[in-house]
Structure 1
Amino acid sequence: MFGYDPTIITFTIYIIGMLLIGVLAYRYTSNLSDYILGGRSLGGFVTGMSAGASDMSGWLLMGLPGAVYAAGLVEAWIAIGLTIGAYLNWYFVAGRLRVFTESHDNALTLPEYFQARFSSKQGNNNHKMLKVVAASIILFFFTIYCSSGVVAGARLFENLFGTPYQTALWYGALATIIYTFIGGFLAVSWTDTVQATLMVLALIITPVMVLFAIGGIDDFSQVLAAAGNDLGKNFTDMWTGTSLIGLFSLSAWGLGYFGQPHILARFMAAENVRSLTSARRIGISWMIFCLLGAVGVGFFGIAYFYTNPELATVVNNNREQIFIELARHLFNPWIAGVLLSAILAAVMSTLSCQLLISSSAITEDFYRGFIRPKASDKELVWLGRLMVLAIAVIAIAIAQNPESQVLKLVEHAWAGFGSSFGPLVLFSLFWQRTNANGAMAGMITGALVVSFWNRVIPDSGIYEMIPGFILSSLAIVLVSLLTKQPENDILENYQTADRQYKANI
């Protein structure tokens, strides 16, 4: 069908390699803890790299470069906000969450942690509804998030192989589904480490080659100025074309980190608190290089396609294809195949983790929590695998619209998690007065505000994350203070976990 195209061969080798890792991880997956959190055995390097790869989905190589290509450096505020938010998340949340989840009934998922954190044996209050609401939010927003990964993969296969968009959806998702189905969390984390390495190399090499192709920094500056004059834009001004509210909205992406289940799962799976220090350094360094590279791809790409308008048709029709087009035009097919595998890597790394977290929400939080509390580990692992398939099919169905934009889908899901879970994670770790009523109010408020903000106030210009995060935080504080304070055993459990964390840093 595809002949002996070097790009096809490279892709095939890459996908086979990922599947082999899944098969290897299968041998180490014997129970639900292994399948969901890898038995809490990840070292610093794997934790840092896999947290980065699961965070930076296809939007890193498609959405962000496309946004910079269209508007210039003003879109770099997204990268700045994300870097600050990620660092604060690593510094303040990672270690505490690792200790608190293990201390509170060895919670394997975020919904399970919320239930354990706010339940009292003394008062005979287990607050199962906290788990139900949290798991429902995860399923809702992750299905949207998963669809963004499916769209990114479909764009790649559609562009490279000329396959129809509807067929490309399945090609882009199939490999990810298979190795997540087989190997669970260990497969996802091991492949994330490989994929994170591929992503950062691609994002360093590509903008450098674009700059060389233009003729160097001096020629680039002249061409960029000419492009700006012709198009009526100032691509170098980070303040142009947007208001203070707009800049704040772009930067506010960083708030989302505190509530992303697929990233927080990496903290929960770390071997110990001390390993998170090296993981933070590795993860943040990786992130900075990737974001700089992604911005560089879009920024230098402006000048490249301005001087080569005959090559710009695809990009002008869909700006999110800019990385794909640059790789195809600047590199020979073998190297282009390796670089374009980075897009597949970004899609696979995030999509696999999201499928796994969504699967665990059903398996651990619904099935074992309510339907079969005494289900065997083998039964739960296989149910988790089946749920991976089911959720993937739903995500593919959502992604059927060929006009879908990766960045828009990610933007909404990111805000949903950031507002629903972010404030609650922070308050659960740092404010012992938080109670179950406040936790419930915060989650529901955050989810509702994000879901309806743009429908109620469509022209506000404010990223829904901002009102969602603020109102969720207020709901937690006000409802906690207006209702009964937590029982003594809840306070004692909090204080015990707090002491354990401080003893291990």
Structure 2
Amino acid sequence: MLNNNNTVVIATFALYFVAMFIIGFVAWRRSSDFSDYVLGGRSLGPFATAISTGASEMSGWLMVAMPGAAYLSGMSSFWIAAGLLTGSLLNWLIVAQRLRVYSFVANNSLTIPEFLAERFQQNTKGLRLVASLFIIVFYLFYTSSGLVAGGKLLNTVFGMNYELAVVLGMLAIVSYTFFGGYLAVSWTDVLQGIMMLFALVAVPVAAVTELGGVEASAASVRDASPYLLQWFSDASSGERLTWIAVVSSLAWGLGYFGQPHALARFAGINDHRNIPFARRVAVSWTAIGLVCALSIGVLGHGFFPAGIDDHERIFMFMVDMLFNPIIASVLLTAILAAVMSTADSQLLICSSTIADDIYKSVFRKHATQKELVLVGRLAVLGVSAVALMLALAPDSDVLALVSYAWAGFGACFGPTLILSLYWKRMNQWGALSGIVVGGFSVIVWSWLSGGIFDLYEIAPGFVFSLISIVLVSLLTEAPLASVSYQFDEMQHELQEKQKEALA
């Protein structure tokens, strides 16, 4: 339990929750059909798209797991940040604009499985169902990581029972996601993203000031351990990083290409011509956040040189030590905002996948819009309940849960989505094999250890998926001429719109 005034923190948390509920209510009034619930009618502006994308991609991971990793391993954690920043930039450059145009042309596809089905058109029911199942499975782990982070926050701040803290966090997230859908999630993510950035910048600035400047801060960190400021040595063990460790860290960037909650932001922007501006804002937000998160973890040794029981709580402990109760309550609320910003997006994607890609596609082809919204809202409750059960173990590790889900999405959908946007010869069998091979490669690789199997599972999963798509597509029948023609038209339309934007 932290030392700050609980009354002030409770009041700040309560005010924040009220704001989220109001946003959810307004979004509920604006959502008239399933398209509004899932993608907000593709009406989100570039700034909101950029900030909500960054917030939903990073979440509590950026404020809990990343500072924790840096506190544990020192500057060697930089390689994870470098991989993530590169992946974020490439995702905006390679995927964003094409997905916005193609998903709309492809019968206004609302989800990634639906886009793949519309992209290939022939024998795609199995593809859509398999893609949906992998999304649900990996999101259960991802969403549970957010609940774990929220539980650790409330437990640390108030000394609250961990299980109760997780349940309360889940109820808060579910409330506005259940009613407001995409607009509620995106609007709240904008507020949450701004709060996250403020907190991430404020803590290292205050820490350096408290320690007496940059040189004094570096000296205090070196005094704690000579390995903390070395980029190629793990401070937790003092050993040099192997090539496997460096490649594994950089490979985190591959995960961006397959994250459905981030890809939904690309599809939901109001105009593809706003993508370049959104890209600049989003990548800048990510860069600042990653640098500050690393700094918080490393600088933490200047205040806690003897170590702490749970390294993933370092951000919370530093906030408590450096700021008065009022400022601290705002910064701690930013951690809660970070947790909620991704968990709500994940719940919404699961909801839309279950309603559109399973319920409508498999069971009720002619389901009404109101019916789909109802099924989507019930799916939010069901997925939340399962994720809650995964999160209730008090020794759950946020980084471990995120890394597994991140790898799963990156390997399943990254190669599949990129090639579907760029390669006309790709067919439905290649897409199906890419998803299955990528997903099972991650699952199997994560069970193995020693030697090459210590490589982060996203790297082999991504490569195996890519190879599988190419081989299976070439060894099976080419797409129908009509599908290839439609894809040509989609490419031509994008090129023409890009020329118009440049003119």
- TM-score relative to the length of structure 1: 0.95
User: Which residue in the other structure is 2:237 paired with?
Assistant: none
Equivalent-residue separation in structure 2 for 1:407 and 1:466 (angstroms): 17
**Among residues 426, 440, 458, which one is paired with 1:434 in the alignment?**
426
User: Which residue in the other structure is 2:358 paired with?
Assistant: 366
Equivalent-residue separation in structure 1 for 2:345 and 2:116 (angstroms): 20
* Higher mean C-alpha displacement, 370-379 vs 450-459: 450-459
Equivalent-residue separation in structure 1 for 2:248 and 2:295 (angstroms): 22
3-state SS in 2 of match to 1:5? helix
Equivalent-residue separation in structure 1 for 2:448 and 2:194 (angstroms): 42
Whether the 8 Å CA contact 2:232–2:241 is kept in 1: the answer is yes
3-state SS in 1 of match to 2:272? coil
User: Which residue in the other structure is 1:276 paired with?
Assistant: 275
Equivalent-residue separation in structure 2 for 1:202 and 1:397 (angstroms): 30
User: Which residue in the other structure is 1:424 paired with?
Assistant: 416
**Among residues 177, 188, 192, which one is paired with 2:189 in the alignment?**
192
* Higher mean C-alpha displacement, 137-146 vs 98-107: 98-107
3-state SS in 1 of match to 2:466? helix
Whether the 8 Å CA contact 1:83–1:288 is kept in 2: the answer is yes
User: Which residue in the other structure is 2:343 paired with?
Assistant: 351
Whether the 8 Å CA contact 1:416–1:450 is kept in 2: the answer is yes
Whether the 8 Å CA contact 1:116–1:126 is kept in 2: the answer is no
User: Which residue in the other structure is 2:179 paired with?
Assistant: 182
- The gaps in structure 1 that reach 5 residues or longer are 120-124
3-state SS in 2 of match to 1:274? helix
1:3 offset after TM fit, Å? Answer: 9.3
1:174 offset after TM fit, Å? Answer: 1.4
User: Which residue in the other structure is 1:78 paired with?
Assistant: 80
**Among residues 137, 142, 147, which one is paired with 1:140 in the alignment?**
137
User: Which residue in the other structure is 2:437 paired with?
Assistant: 445
205 and 373 in structure 1: CA distance in 2 versus 1, 3 angstrom threshold: same
Write the deviation string for residues 4-27 of structure 1: whole angstroms up to 9, x where unpaired.
710110111011101110001011
Equivalent-residue separation in structure 2 for 1:498 and 1:337 (angstroms): 50
Matched, 1:205 2:202: yes
Query: In the alignment, residue 474 of structure 1 is paired with which amino acid?
Result: I
User: Which residue in the other structure is 1:122 paired with?
Assistant: none
Alignment of 1:376-395 (within 5 A): 376-395=368-387
1:454 offset after TM fit, Å? Answer: 2.5
1:218 offset after TM fit, Å? Answer: 2.0
Alignment of 1:233-312 (within 5 A): 233-240=226-233, 241-306=240-305, 309=306
Whether the 8 Å CA contact 1:157–1:171 is kept in 2: the answer is no
327 and 239 in structure 1: CA distance in 2 versus 1, 3 angstrom threshold: same
1:234 offset after TM fit, Å? Answer: 1.0
**Among residues 480, 484, 487, which one is paired with 1:487 in the alignment?**
480
Equivalent-residue separation in structure 1 for 2:168 and 2:353 (angstroms): 26
Equivalent-residue separation in structure 1 for 2:58 and 2:271 (angstroms): 24
User: Which residue in the other structure is 1:404 paired with?
Assistant: 396
1:456 offset after TM fit, Å? Answer: 3.5
1:198 offset after TM fit, Å? Answer: 0.3
1:222 offset after TM fit, Å? Answer: 1.8
**Among residues 215, 218, 223, which one is paired with 1:221 in the alignment?**
218
Write the deviation string for residues 139-180 of structure 1: whole angstroms up to 9, x where unpaired.
000011000000000000111111111111111111111000
Query: In the alignment, residue 28 of structure 1 is paired with which amino acid?
Result: R
**Among residues 294, 316, 325, which one is paired with 2:317 in the alignment?**
325
Equivalent-residue separation in structure 1 for 2:380 and 2:36 (angstroms): 16
Equivalent-residue separation in structure 1 for 2:215 and 2:323 (angstroms): 23
**Among residues 320, 327, 330, which one is paired with 1:335 in the alignment?**
327
1:326 offset after TM fit, Å? Answer: 0.6
Equivalent-residue separation in structure 2 for 1:225 and 1:338 (angstroms): 31
**Among residues 109, 116, 137, which one is paired with 2:111 in the alignment?**
109
Equivalent-residue separation in structure 2 for 1:419 and 1:442 (angstroms): 8
Alignment of 1:60-99 (within 5 A): 60-99=62-101
Write the deviation string for residues 457-492 of structure 1: whole angstroms up to 9, x where unpaired.
455220000000000000000011111111101101
Alignment of 1:7-22 (within 5 A): 7-22=9-24
User: Which residue in the other structure is 1:31 paired with?
Assistant: 33
Equivalent-residue separation in structure 1 for 2:219 and 2:349 (angstroms): 48
Whether the 8 Å CA contact 2:6–2:158 is kept in 1: the answer is no
1:383 offset after TM fit, Å? Answer: 1.3
Whether the 8 Å CA contact 1:147–1:398 is kept in 2: the answer is yes
3-state SS in 2 of match to 1:366? helix
Whether the 8 Å CA contact 1:324–1:340 is kept in 2: the answer is yes
User: Which residue in the other structure is 1:477 paired with?
Assistant: 470
3-state SS in 2 of match to 1:305? coil
1:371 offset after TM fit, Å? Answer: 1.2
Write the deviation string for residues 28-71 of structure 1: whole angstroms up to 9, x where unpaired.
00000000000011111111011101101111001000000011
Query: In the alignment, residue 62 of structure 1 is paired with which amino acid?
Result: V
Equivalent-residue separation in structure 1 for 2:141 and 2:288 (angstroms): 27
User: Sequence identity of aligned pairs in percent?
Assistant: 44
Equivalent-residue separation in structure 1 for 2:314 and 2:390 (angstroms): 24
**Among residues 163, 169, 173, which one is paired with 1:172 in the alignment?**
169
Whether the 8 Å CA contact 1:61–1:343 is kept in 2: the answer is yes
1:126 offset after TM fit, Å? Answer: 3.9
- The gaps in structure 2 that reach 5 residues or longer are 234-239, 499-503
3-state SS in 2 of match to 1:486? coil
Count, aligned residues: 488
Equivalent-residue separation in structure 1 for 2:393 and 2:344 (angstroms): 22
Moved over 6 A (4+): none
Equivalent-residue separation in structure 2 for 1:389 and 1:323 (angstroms): 31
Query: In the alignment, residue 461 of structure 2 is paired with which amino acid?
Result: G
Query: In the alignment, residue 268 of structure 1 is paired with which amino acid?
Result: A
1:318 offset after TM fit, Å? Answer: 0.3
Whether the 8 Å CA contact 1:47–1:276 is kept in 2: the answer is no
Query: In the alignment, residue 174 of structure 1 is paired with which amino acid?
Result: L
Whether the 8 Å CA contact 1:31–1:378 is kept in 2: the answer is yes
Whether the 8 Å CA contact 2:5–2:325 is kept in 1: the answer is no
Query: In the alignment, residue 58 of structure 1 is paired with which amino acid?
Result: G
Equivalent-residue separation in structure 2 for 1:347 and 1:227 (angstroms): 30
User: Which residue in the other structure is 1:48 paired with?
Assistant: 50
Write the deviation string for residues 278-330 of structure 1: whole angstroms up to 9, x where unpaired.
11011111111111110111011112212xx5xx5xxx210000011111111
Whether the 8 Å CA contact 2:416–2:435 is kept in 1: the answer is yes
Whether the 8 Å CA contact 2:255–2:406 is kept in 1: the answer is yes
Query: In the alignment, residue 261 of structure 2 is paired with which amino acid?
Result: H
Whether the 8 Å CA contact 1:54–1:353 is kept in 2: the answer is yes
Whether the 8 Å CA contact 2:426–2:469 is kept in 1: the answer is yes
